[in-house]
């Protein structure tokens, strides 16, 4: 009786992993849970993704987890969730990540509806900066969607969840990736068609879907029937609402064109001819760079203002 009372009065011992003191669970999935934690050396908050090794092995996810960790070590960018370190025990893997407090961009849209164009442009710029950086490191995300875009305390966008990402070395002899993956509403038509796809241009398509949602408040492609949904995507069956500016509408319709060659690499050649002649810009470089999307939008705004 006495011992029981003493135990009840004793302060609860907090669990630690390395230099991190674990707190509440902030997310949970089939193979992992995410817990808030604090770095006891500097007091900084972090998020620790905890994976059960047995479940990972049972579902043959070992290589995928290794690849995700490898990729996150490769990418260090202000608009990408940062990996601090990886630790392991006999039964678990601990992935220590930047703690992002602002929630998902999806929640903002679901709660408040569509964004003003200036605000959408800010997030889109940060998104393509991050994705362009990833591509420069030979990383293709392959699951870009609002749920994987987080906001920090200052309202800056952070790309997260590289679980389905691919590296350049996964490209086959034909120069393409062949694994069909991603979230149906955001996936590019060439990914669905199973004939191989370029990881960078597939990511650009997903960025176009995201931009549409930011400006419209709903998805461009929706259907309860997956076959019907894929048909809409493959045929680009969508329309921009009346409140889209001419520049935003022009850009989105060019990005969300089923032909990746004509739309997501060469789609803005005419506008870049104007800009390139003025600034001596390499058109070959620009047509292979995702920043093309952002810069073209800005150019279209300038064209509208000046009548160029």
pLDDT digits (tens, 9 = 90+) for 76-99: 999 999 999 999 999 999 999 999
Residue 143 annotated to the active site = yes
Contact predicate 264/201, CB 8 Å: yes
Q: Between vectors from CA 219 to CA 111 and to CA 209, what angle results, nearest 5°?
A: 110
Give the pLDDT confidence of 5-62 residue by residue, as tens digits.
444 554 555 689 999 999 999 988 878 899 999 999 999 999 999 999 999 999 999 9
Which residues participate in the annotated binding site for ATP?
49
**pLDDT surpassing 70 at residue 211:** yes
Given this model, what pLDDT does residue 292 score?
57
Contact predicate 99/43, CB 8 Å: no
Residue of higher predicted confidence among 178 and 194 = 178
Residue 177 φ/ψ, nearest 5 degrees: -90, 155
Structure token pair of residue 220: 């461009």
Given this model, what pLDDT does residue 279 score?
40
What is the distance between the alpha carbons of residues 233 and 187, in angstroms, rounded to a whole number?
8
Q: What percent of the chain has pLDDT over 90?
A: 63
Given this model, what pLDDT does residue 257 score?
87
**pLDDT surpassing 90 at residue 255:** no
**pLDDT surpassing 70 at residue 280:** no
Q: Between vectors from CA 245 to CA 258 and to CA 247, what angle results, nearest 5°?
A: 55
Contact predicate 255/264, CB 8 Å: yes
What is the distance between the alpha carbons of residues 257 and 273, in angstroms, rounded to a whole number?
21
> What is the average per-residue pLDDT within 176-204?
92
**pLDDT surpassing 80 at residue 203:** yes
Residue whose entry in the numeric block shows the structure tokens 């058109």? 283
Contacts (Cβ under 8 Å, ≥6 apart) of 264: 201, 204, 205, 255, 257
Read off the DSSP letter of residue 15: P
Average pLDDT, the chain: 84
DSSP-derived 3-state class of residue 139: strand
Given this model, what pLDDT does residue 268 score?
39
**pLDDT surpassing 70 at residue 262:** no
Buried b (16+ CB within 10 A) or exposed e, 73-82: eebebebbbb
H or E element, residue 9: helix 2-9
Number of Cβ within 10 Å of residue 308's Cβ equals: 9
Given this model, what pLDDT does residue 298 score?
65
Given this model, what pLDDT does residue 306 score?
54
Question: DSSP per residue over 26-74, as a string?
Answer: EEE-SSEEEEEEEETTT--EEEEEEEEHHHHHHTT-HHHHHHHHHHHHH
Structural domains in the chain, CATH included, are 17-173+182-275 (1.10.510.10)
Catalytic residue among 143, 198, 203, 223: 143
> What is the average per-residue pLDDT within 109-117?
95
């Amino acid at each position: 009786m006495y011992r029981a009372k003493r135990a009840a009065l004793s302060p609860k011992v907090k669990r630690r992993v390395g230099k991190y003191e674990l707190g509440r669970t902030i997310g949970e999935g089939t193979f992992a849970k995410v817990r808030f934690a604090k770095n006891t050396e500097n007091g900084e908050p972090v998020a620790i993704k905890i994976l059960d090794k047995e479940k990972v092995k049972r579902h043959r996810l070992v290589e995928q987890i290794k690849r995700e960790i490898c990729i996150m070590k490769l990418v260090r960018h202000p608009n990408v969730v940062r990996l601090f370190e990886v630790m392991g025990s006999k039964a678990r893997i601990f992935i220590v990540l930047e703690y992002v407090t602002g929630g998902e961009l999806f929640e903002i849209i679901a709660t408040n509806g569509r964004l003003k164009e200036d605000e959408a442009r800010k997030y889109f710029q940060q998104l393509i900066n991050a994705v362009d950086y990833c591509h420069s490191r030979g990383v293709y995300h392959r699951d870009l969607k609002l749920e994987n875009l987080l906001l920090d305390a200052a309202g800056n966008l952070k790309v997260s969840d590289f679980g389905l990402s691919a590296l350049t070395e996964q490209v086959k002899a034909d120069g393409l990736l062949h694994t069909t993956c991603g979230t149906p509403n955001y996936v590019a038509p060439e990914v669905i068609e199973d004939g191989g796809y370029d990881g960078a241009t597939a990511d650009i398509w997903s960025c176009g879907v995201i931009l549409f949602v930011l400006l419209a408040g709903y998805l461009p492609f929706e259907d309860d029937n997956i076959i019907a949904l894929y048909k809409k995507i493959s045929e680009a069956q969508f329309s921009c609402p009346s409140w889209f500016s001419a520049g935003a509408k022009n850009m989105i319709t060019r990005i969300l064109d089923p032909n990746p060659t004509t739309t997501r690499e060469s789609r803005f050649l005419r506008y870049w001819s104007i800009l390139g002649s003025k600034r001596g810009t390499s058109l070959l470089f620009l047509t292979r760079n995702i920043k093309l999307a952002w810069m073209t939008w800005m150019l279209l705004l300038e064209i509208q203002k000046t009548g160029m």
